[in-house]
């Protein structure tokens, strides 16, 4: 698991957004200059933690004199009431970075918590859960980190990460066979060619055309199982579209599937985490 190389730039942007031109005017007015504080980040609900390094970095970038120590590791499942980290330093600095640090930690932990639930629902089937490109703009790398921390797998990180022929490409190219043939002829040998299909007939056409992987979109359970039988492990078979927590276990039972789930990143509810601050 790796955090983005431009993490500091991302965090600084978030701090600038929150502090604006004048900084934390409330703390400047109400908190004595030089006052020291101690803060405890505590889980108020059960979940899977992710983003503690980002949490720490937020405070340090605002004020290097702030010290942050963590009590758990990313990917750890915790119960409500678990202490996750301790923050010590100038009170104004802690209060100034509090919301941004928590926003990162709550969101990333929410993604990790939802991902873990999907992963556990697929346990023992040989199928794996993937994230998608349906991410919040600017936060993709952090969300992908959280997915991986919780045991999920990563799809391509961007449009340059692989050839994935989607429905709009098929319309423009003239169909599954034509699109796959063009892609196989034009793609570097290091890139696999995956094509999205919506029926078993299109799946057969994709196989015959030489697709390296197939994405079956918005299929019912019967079609998923028949698709798995037809592919028979010759190429990776990915399932997407309408994959809910209630359905994912039944889909995964077809065995050996890649199951992509957009809601891991675009719809994960934030984990409830608080920072309890008191005089040091």
Q: What is the DSSP string of 135-161?
A: --TT-HHHHHHHHHHTT-B---SSGGG
Instruction: Give me the pLDDT at residue 2, please.
Output: 77
Q: Could you tell me the CA-to-CA distances from 261 to 26, 68, 133, 212 in Å, in that order?
A: 41, 34, 10, 21
| 166 flagged as catalytic | yes
Torsion over CA of 66, 67, 72 and 78, rounded to 10 degrees?
-40
Instruction: Give me the pLDDT at residue 21, please.
Output: 93
| 192 flagged as catalytic | no
Instruction: Tell whether the torsion through CA atoms of 148, 154, 157 and 158 is positive or negative.
Output: negative
H/E run at residue 226 = helix 221-231
**Active-site hit among 12, 38, 134, 247:** 134
CA-based max dimension of the chain: 73
Instruction: Give me the pLDDT at residue 48, please.
Output: 98
Query: What radius of gyration, in Å, describes the C-alpha atoms of the chain?
Result: 23
Instruction: Provide the 3-class DSSP secondary structure of residue 175.
Output: coil
Instruction: Give me the pLDDT at residue 142, please.
Output: 97
**Active-site hit among 63, 86, 198, 217:** 217
**Active-site hit among 12, 40, 99, 184:** 99
**Active-site hit among 148, 196, 202, 212:** 196
Secondary structure tally for the chain: helices H, strands E:
11, 12
CB distance 258 to 238 below 8 Å: yes
Mark residue 12 as left, alpha or beta (left: phi above 0; alpha: psi -120 to 50; beta: remaining): alpha
Q: Which long-range contacts (CB under 8 A, 24 or more apart) does 139-142 make?
A: 139/10, 139/107, 140/265, 141/3, 141/4, 142/3, 142/4, 142/10, 142/51, 142/54, 142/104, 142/107, 142/108
**Active-site hit among 6, 9, 44, 166:** 166
Q: What is the mean pLDDT of each run of 10 residues along the chain (280 residues)?
A: 87 97 96 97 98 98 98 98 98 98 98 98 98 95 97 94 95 96 93 96 98 97 98 97 96 98 97 97
**Phi and psi for 213 in degrees, rounded to 5?**
-160, 155
> What is the spatial distance between Cα 280 and Cα 271, in angstroms, rounded to a whole number?
27
> What is the spatial distance between Cα 17 and Cα 105, in angstroms, rounded to a whole number?
17
Instruction: Give me the pLDDT at residue 189, please.
Output: 87
CB distance 212 to 234 below 8 Å: no
| 92 flagged as catalytic | no
Instruction: Give me the pLDDT at residue 123, please.
Output: 97
- Per DSSP bridges, beta strands 258-260 and 83-90 are unpaired
Question: Domains, the chain, ranges and CATH?
Answer: 7-113+269-279 (3.90.1170.20), 119-266 (3.20.20.70)
């Amino acid at each position: 698991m790796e955090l983005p190389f431009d993490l500091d730039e991302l965090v600084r942007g978030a701090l600038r957004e929150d502090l604006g031109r004048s900084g934390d005017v409330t703390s400047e007015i109400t908190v004595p200059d030089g006052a020291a504080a101690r803060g405890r980040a505590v889980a108020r609900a059960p979940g899977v933690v992710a983003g503690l390094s980002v949490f720490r970095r937020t405070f340090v970038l605002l004020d290097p004199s702030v010290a942050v120590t963590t009590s758990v590791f990313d990917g750890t499942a915790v119960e409500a009431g678990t202490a996750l980290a301790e923050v010590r330093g100038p009170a104004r600095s802690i209060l100034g970075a509090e919301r941004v640090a928590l926003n990162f930690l709550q969101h990333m932990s929410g993604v990790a918590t939802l991902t873990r639930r999907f992963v556990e629902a697929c346990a023992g089937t040989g199928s794996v859960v993937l994230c998608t490109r349906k991410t919040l703009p600017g936060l993709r790398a952090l969300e992908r980190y959280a997915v991986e921390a919780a045991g999920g797998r990563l799809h391509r990180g961007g449009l340059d990460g692989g050839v994935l022929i989607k429905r709009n490409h098929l319309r423009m190219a003239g169909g599954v066979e034509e699109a796959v043939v063009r892609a196989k002829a034009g793609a570097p040998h290091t890139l696999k060619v995956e094509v999205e299909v919506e029926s078993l007939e299109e799946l057969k056409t994709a196989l015959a055309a030489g697709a390296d992987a197939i994405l079956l979109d918005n299929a019912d359970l019967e079609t998923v199982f028949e698709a798995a039988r037809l592919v028979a492990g010759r190429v990776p078979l990915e399932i997407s579209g309408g994959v809910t927590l209630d359905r994912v276990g039944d889909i995964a039972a077809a065995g050996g599937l890649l199951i992509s789930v957009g809601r891991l990143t675009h719809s994960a509810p934030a984990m409830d985490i608080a920072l309890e601050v008191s005089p040091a």
